[in-house]
Amino acid sequence: MASEQELAQWLQAQPLNAAVVIDDESVYLNVYPNGAELGVCLTQAYTQDQLQRALRQGFSSAIHFDAGLGLSADGNSLVLTQWLQDVANWPQAAPALEHLLNQLAPWRAALAPVETAPAPSMHGRLEQRLRLRLAQRK
């Protein structure tokens, strides 16, 4: 296991203002004069249904975790972001990064595609009616 110093050095080497893969997640740290925006990609693309579910969960997440829902710069991905006041590099963002990554499981569960049961076919309905009639005759 890497020491805290090795981890800090590794984080320091990561680029700012660009996507970085950490723990198989696409994350970024966009640095500004007063702080930084830390973000993680929730979806590469999204459906209207996923957007609606994300918006419902977004408010409670913002209150509980101090992170908010947003869109990527190109508008194609949903991202979870957090503003970090007076943060200028990855090592300073490390505690918030860990906290943000820990939130992903409930978000992924909420945004998982909803599988709908296929509509019964005409053949299936006829079979059900036939079974019902046969059961009634017994």
> What CATH code is carried by the domain that includes residue 92?
3.30.1460.10
Report the side by side order of strands in the sheet with 78-85. 19-22, 25-32, 35-43, 78-85, 68-71
Q: What are phi and psi of 68, to 5 degrees?
A: -125, 165
- Which pLDDT tens digit goes with each residue over 112-129? 876 655 555 666 777 777
Q: What mean pLDDT, rounded, does the chain reach?
A: 84
Q: Are 42 and 79 in contact (CB under 8 A)?
A: yes
Do the beta carbons of residue 9 and residue 88 sit within 8 Å?
A: no
The CA distance from 103 to 137, in Å, is 57
Q: How many domains does the chain have?
A: 1
- Report the distance separating Cα 65 and Cα 110, nearest Å: 16
The residue segments making up the domain with residue 93 are: 4-137
Do residues 26 and 40 touch, judged by C-beta distance below 8 A?
yes
State pTM to two decimals.
Answer: 0.75
User: Residue 23: pLDDT band by 50, 70, 90 thresholds?
Assistant: confident
